[in-house]
Amino acid sequence: MSLKRVGILLGKEFWQSPKNFIFVWALAGPIILSLVVSLAFGTLFTDKPKLGIMDEGSSQLVTMFKQSTSVITKEYGSISEIRQAVESGAVDIGMVLPHDFDGSVTRGEEIEVTAYVWGESLAKNRIILEVTILNLVRELAGHEAPVEIVAITLGGDVSVPWSDRLLPFIVLMTIFMGGLLLPGMSVINEKEKKTLEGLVVTPATIGDVFVAKGLLGVSLSLFMGVAILVLNQAFGAEPGILLLVLALGAIMAAELGLLLGALVKDTTTLFAVWKFGGILLFGPALLYMFPEIPEWIGKIFPTYYFIQPIVEISQGSGGWADVATNVFILVALDLILIAVVAFALRRTQQHAV
Amino acid sequence: MNLRAIGALISKDFFLFFRNRFFALMTALGIFFYLAIYFLMPSSVDETLVIGLYAPVMPPAFELTEEEGLEFQMAESEVALKEAVIEGEYLAGIALPADIMDRFASGQKPRVNVYFASSVPEEMKDGVVVLIEELAYQETGLGLEASEPEILGPDMMGMQIPPRDRMRPLFAVFIMLFEVFGLAVLISEEVERRTIQALLVTPMTLKDLFAAKGAVGMTLAFGQAVLFMGIVGGMSQQPLIILATLLLGGVLVTGVGFLLAALGKDMMSVMGWFVIALVILVIPSFGVVFPGTVSGWAKVIPSYYLVDTVHRVSNFGAGWGDIGYNLLILLGFAVALVWIGIIALRRKLQ
C-alpha cells in the first residue's frame, strides 16, 4: 500500500463526493433532523396535558396557567379558533373565560365558563387539567390549600425527555449514513461504471482504493458526529473519550460500507440492504427511546457498543471506567471487521482482475 | 392496447425487480420488520393515574373519588407504599397521617407525604400535588362545582386508540412509497440505457408501456399495503373502503413514481427526489400520530386524503358517507399525478 497513492485517491474522493447526493444528505440530514427534534419534539412527545384559553377580558388566570408547570397553555383569539384547536387535538381542553372573570371569582359569584374537551384526550390528562384549573381559580380567589404536601423523590432513575431519548438515534444515523453509505456507494458506483478495473491496471492497488474511500467515510462521519454532539450540547463531558468512540464508530461504519461495496453488485441492492440492515444498525436506539425494553436486547446489536459509551458520557455523566469494557468490545469488532473486509477485498480483487 | 405486450412487459419488470434473490428477500423482510415494529408497540393506552394510598384513616373525599382515569390502590404500610413506588407500581404514593381528620376538623393543615419515583416527570409530580390539594379542598367543604364541558368529536375515554394503530396510515404510506421508489429506479434506468426507446420500435405503443409500468407500480404498492393492513387488522372495519382507499393510494404513488423517474437520471438522483417526495407525503401521517401538530394546510398534500381516510375508517369505523368526499379528492389527485407523471416521462422519452 502506498500512502502517496491513497492520499491522491482520497483527494479525488473529496473533490468528487460533494456532487453525490449521499454526501450532501449525510451532511444536511442529521443537522435538519437534530433541529427538528430540538424545535418540535421538545413539546411533541411531552406527557403534559395541553390547555387552550380564550380570554374575553384580561384575566390574571391566563398568566397563572402559563406559569404552571403541570400543563402547557396556548392562547387563542376567538371561540372558533379554540373549538378548532380542541377538535384537532392541538389542546386537550379549551376554555373561554368571560369578561370580568377575576372580579367574579373574587366576589365569590357563580360563573359560567364555556369549556370544550377533545374526545380523544386521555382520562388522566382531563383529570390533571380539571384539578389544575380549579386549583388556580382558588389561588386567584386568594384561598389557601388546607393541606401541607411534602413531595419526596425515591430511587435513582431520572426521567429522560424525548429530545434526549432521540439523541442516540440521531448520532447513529449521523455516523452510519455518511460512514457506511458513502464508501459503499462509491465502490459500487466504480463497479457499475467499470472504473474499478481501470484503476487496478494503474499502480494503485485495490487496497489503496478501498482505504481512500474508507477514510473519506470515516472523516465525514467523524466530523458530523462531533458537529451533532456539539449542536445537541452533548460534547462537553470527556471530549477525548467521545472523540475516540466516535472515531471507532466511524471506522465500523466505513468498514461495513466497504464490505457492502465489495459484496454488493449494484446500488439497488445496496439500498435494499440498507432498508433491512437499518433495523440492525439502529436497533439500540430503540432501547433508549423506550427504556422499558430490557438492556440485554441492545447488546445483541454491534452498534450498541458504540452508542452506549456515547450516551453514558454525554447524558449519564459517565467516565472511562463506565465505558471501557464496551469500548474494548468496539475495538475488537472493528478489528474483526477489518479482517472480514480484507477477505472480501481479496475476493473483489480476483473479480476485478 | 396490446394486452399481450403489456403482460409480457409486466412479467419482465417483475422478473427484473425480483431477479436479485437478495433484493426479493429484503423486500419481504422489509414488510416483516414493519410488522414487527407494529406488533412490538403497546396494543393499549394506559390512561389511568394509578396512585398508591396509605391511609390509617380514610377521608371520605378520597374514598368517594371514582373518576375515570384515577385509581387509588391501598398499601398496607408506608414502607410498603415506598417500595411499590420504587418498583414503579404506582405513579405516586400518598401517605396520609393518622390524625388527618382531626386536623381538618380543627382547621389545622395536615402534613401529607407524597412519594414519587425519580423517573416520574416533573409535570406529573405537580399534577399529583394539585390533585391532592383539590381532594383536601373537597374534604374541608370547599369543593368547587365545575359545569359539564362539551366533548368535541367521539368521546374515546376508556377506548383510546393505541399509538400503533395511529401509525397504520404512516406505515401504509411508507410501504407504498418505498416500493414505488424501486419502480422509479427501474424506469429511469431503462430510460438512461435506452431500452425503453428500443421497446417503442416494437409493436408496443407508449400507452401500452405506461399501462404496464403503472400496473407494476400499482401491484407492488397496493399489494404490500393490503398485505400489511390485513395482517395488522386494519381491514377489520369496512374492508371495502380500505381496499378502495389503498387502490387509489396505489395509483397516487404510481404517479409519484412516474414523476420521480422523469426527474431523475440515475438511482442517486431518483433517490434525491424520492427523499423530498417522501418528506412531503409523510407529513399528513404525523397529524394522525401526533394530533394537532399538523394544521389545515396539510390538506393541500395529496396523501392527506389517503392517511385521513385510512385513519378514520380503520380507527373509527367511518363509512362511505363520511369519507366519500376524501375518496373523490384522492381520486382527483391520483389521476392528476399519474397524468403529470406520464406527460413528464413522455417528454423525457422524446
Q: What is the pLDDT of residues B219-256, one digit of tens each?
A: 888 998 999 999 998 888 889 999 999 999 999 999 99
Distance between CA atoms of residues B60 and A278, nearest Å: 56
Please answer yes or no on whether A143 and B23 come within 8 Å at the CB atom.
no
Summary mean pLDDT of chain B: 84
Which of left, alpha, beta for B158 (phi over 0: left; psi -120 to 50: alpha)? left
> b/e map of B186-218 (b: 16 or more CB within 10 Å)?
bbbbbbeeeebeebeeeebeeebbbbbbbbbbb
Residue B61 has pLDDT above 70, yes or no: yes
Mean pLDDT of B292-318: 86
* B82 to chain A: closest CA residue: A154
Residue B122: pLDDT band with limits 50, 70, 90: confident
Please answer yes or no on whether B118 and A93 come within 8 Å at the CB atom.
no
Q: Which three cell numbers stand for residue B206?
A: 407508449
- In terms of average pLDDT, the best of A55-69, B113-127, B236-250 is B236-250
With respect to residue A264, please indicate whether it lies within any of the assigned structural domains.
yes
* B186 to chain A: closest CA residue: A268
Mean pLDDT of B290-305: 82
Please answer yes or no on whether B114 and A150 come within 8 Å at the CB atom.
yes
Distance of CA A25 to the CA centre of its chain: 16
- Tens-digit pLDDT profile for residues A177-189: 888 888 888 888 8
Q: Give the H/E segment covering residue B71.
A: strand B70-74
* Claim to verify: residue A121 and residue A265 sit in the same structural domain: no
Please answer yes or no on whether A149 and B133 come within 8 Å at the CB atom.
yes
Which of the pair, B296 or B56, is modelled with greater confidence?
B56
Residue B64: pLDDT band with limits 50, 70, 90: low
Please answer yes or no on whether A152 and B27 come within 8 Å at the CB atom.
no
Which of the pair, B86 or A33, is modelled with greater confidence?
B86
* Claim to verify: residue A343 and residue A289 sit in the same structural domain: yes
* Claim to verify: residue A181 and residue A308 sit in the same structural domain: yes
* Claim to verify: residue A258 and residue A312 sit in the same structural domain: yes
| Residue that terminates a domain, selected from A109, A141, A173 | A141
Mean pLDDT of B288-305: 82
Pick the residue of B152, B192, B283, B299 with the most A CBs within 10 A to test the interface with A by mutation: B152
Kindly tell me the sign of the dihedral angle through the C-alpha atoms of B37, B40, B45, B46.
Answer: negative
Q: Which of residues 234-263 of B touch A (CB under 8 A)?
A: none
Q: Which amino acid is at B293?
A: T
Does the beta carbon of B133 lie under 8 angstroms from any beta carbon of chain A?
Answer: yes
Residue-level pLDDT at B231: 92
* Claim to verify: residue A211 and residue A137 sit in the same structural domain: no
Please answer yes or no on whether B146 and A133 come within 8 Å at the CB atom.
yes
Mean pLDDT of A316-332: 86
Q: Which of residues 22-41 of A touch B (CB under 8 A)?
A: 22, 25, 40
Mean pLDDT of B68-88: 86
Question: Phi first, then psi: what are they for A102, rounded to 5°?
Answer: -65, -40
* B88 to chain A: closest CA residue: A155
Distance between CA atoms of residues B136 and B126, nearest Å: 15
Contacting residues of A for B144, CB less than 8 Å apart: 134, 137-138
With respect to residue A337, please indicate whether it lies within any of the assigned structural domains.
yes
Residue A53: pLDDT band with limits 50, 70, 90: very high
Residue B331 has pLDDT above 90, yes or no: yes
Does the beta carbon of A2 lie under 8 angstroms from any beta carbon of chain B?
Answer: no
* A269 to chain B: closest CA residue: B23
With respect to residue A152, please indicate whether it lies within any of the assigned structural domains.
no
Cβ-Cβ contacts under 8 Å for B145 (sequence gap 6 or more):
none
- Tens-digit pLDDT profile for residues B190-228: 887 788 888 878 888 888 888 888 898 888 889 989 999
Residue B339 has pLDDT above 90, yes or no: yes
Nearest CB among B111, B152, B272 relative to A117 is that of B152
* Claim to verify: residue A205 and residue A277 sit in the same structural domain: yes
> b/e map of A9-40 (b: 16 or more CB within 10 Å)?
bbeebeeebeebbbbebbbebbeebbeebbee
Q: Which of residues 31-50 of B touch A (CB under 8 A)?
A: 33, 45, 47-49
Strands B92-95 and B111-117: antiparallel
Residue A175 has pLDDT above 50, yes or no: yes
Nearest CB among B49, B115, B275 relative to A25 is that of B275
Contacting residues of A for B70, CB less than 8 Å apart: 123-124, 127
- Tens-digit pLDDT profile for residues A280-295: 888 888 777 777 677 7
Contacting residues of A for B110, CB less than 8 Å apart: 147-148
Strands A72-75 and A93-97: unpaired
The CATH number linked to A79 is 3.40.190.10
Please answer yes or no on whether A269 and B23 come within 8 Å at the CB atom.
yes
Residue-level pLDDT at A44: 53
Does the beta carbon of A192 lie under 8 angstroms from any beta carbon of chain B?
Answer: no
Mean pLDDT of A79-85: 91
In three-state secondary structure terms, A36 is: helix
Residue-level pLDDT at A269: 79
* Claim to verify: residue A136 and residue A242 sit in the same structural domain: no
Strands B70-74 and B92-95: unpaired
Contact yes or no for B220/B186 (Cβ under 8 A):
no
With respect to residue A113, please indicate whether it lies within any of the assigned structural domains.
yes
Q: Which of A24-33, A215-224, B13-22, B179-188 bottoms out in mean pLDDT, i.e. has the lowest? A: B13-22
Q: Which of A88-92, A236-240, B92-96, B242-246 bottoms out in mean pLDDT, i.e. has the lowest? A: A236-240
Nearest CB among A21, A40, A149 relative to B132 is that of A149
Distance between CA atoms of residues B185 and B190, nearest Å: 8
* B151 to chain A: closest CA residue: A117
Pick the residue of A71, A72, A154, A182 with the most B CBs within 10 A to test the interface with B by mutation: A154
Nearest chain B CA: its distance from A319 CA (Å): 22
Residue A353 has pLDDT above 50, yes or no: no
Q: How many domains does chain A have?
A: 2
Q: Which of A115-124, A135-144, A250-259 bottoms out in mean pLDDT, i.e. has the lowest? A: A135-144
In three-state secondary structure terms, A258 is: helix
With respect to residue A7, please indicate whether it lies within any of the assigned structural domains.
no
- Tens-digit pLDDT profile for residues A144-171: 888 888 888 887 656 666 777 778 888 8
Residue A40: pLDDT band with limits 50, 70, 90: low
Nearest chain A CA: its distance from B94 CA (Å): 9
Nearest chain A CA: its distance from B1 CA (Å): 31
Residue A276 has pLDDT above 80, yes or no: no
Residue A325 burial (CB count, 10 A)? 12
* Claim to verify: residue A221 and residue A259 sit in the same structural domain: yes
Distance of CA A51 to the CA centre of its chain: 28
Nearest chain A CA: its distance from B26 CA (Å): 6
Residue B295: pLDDT band with limits 50, 70, 90: low
Please give the ipTM for the structure prediction: 0.77
String of DSSP letters for B115-143: EEETTS-HHHHHHHHHHHHHHHHHHTT-P
Residue pointed to by grid coordinates 404517479? B255
* Claim to verify: residue A193 and residue A316 sit in the same structural domain: yes
With respect to residue A207, please indicate whether it lies within any of the assigned structural domains.
yes
Does the beta carbon of B77 lie under 8 angstroms from any beta carbon of chain A?
Answer: no
Distance between CA atoms of residues B82 and A282, nearest Å: 37
Q: Where are the domains of chain B?
A: 3-42+161-349, 49-139
Nearest chain B CA: its distance from A2 CA (Å): 31
With respect to residue A2, please indicate whether it lies within any of the assigned structural domains.
no
Which of the pair, A31 or B83, is modelled with greater confidence?
B83
Residue A274 has pLDDT above 90, yes or no: no
* Claim to verify: residue A199 and residue A285 sit in the same structural domain: yes
With respect to residue A21, please indicate whether it lies within any of the assigned structural domains.
yes
Residue-level pLDDT at B26: 65
* Claim to verify: residue A55 and residue A35 sit in the same structural domain: no
Please answer yes or no on whether A47 and B115 come within 8 Å at the CB atom.
no
* Claim to verify: residue A171 and residue A80 sit in the same structural domain: no
Which of the pair, B98 or B189, is modelled with greater confidence?
B98
Nearest chain A CA: its distance from B203 CA (Å): 30
Residue-level pLDDT at A157: 59
Question: Phi first, then psi: what are they for B55, rounded to 5°?
Answer: -135, 100
Nearest chain A CA: its distance from B68 CA (Å): 6
| Residue that terminates a domain, selected from A77, A112, A141 | A141
Which of the pair, A68 or A118, is modelled with greater confidence?
A118
Residue pointed to by grid coordinates 372495519? B237
Residue-level pLDDT at A41: 55
User: In degrees to the nearest 10, what's the CA dihedral of A100, A101, A103, A108?
Assistant: 140
Regarding the domain delimited by B49-139, which CATH topology (the fold level of the hierarchy) does it fall under? abc type-2 transporter like fold (3.40.1710)
Summary mean pLDDT of chain A: 82
Pick the residue of B21, B130, B134 with the most A CBs within 10 A to test the interface with A by mutation: B130
Residue A333 has pLDDT above 90, yes or no: yes
* A105 to chain B: closest CA residue: B144
Q: Which domain holds residue A103?
A: 47-141
Mean pLDDT of A222-229: 87
Residue-level pLDDT at B249: 93
Residue A251 has pLDDT above 90, yes or no: yes
Residue A348 has pLDDT above 70, yes or no: no
Nearest chain A CA: its distance from B86 CA (Å): 6
Residue B258 burial (CB count, 10 A)? 28
Please answer yes or no on whether B125 and A272 come within 8 Å at the CB atom.
no
Does the beta carbon of B190 lie under 8 angstroms from any beta carbon of chain A?
Answer: no
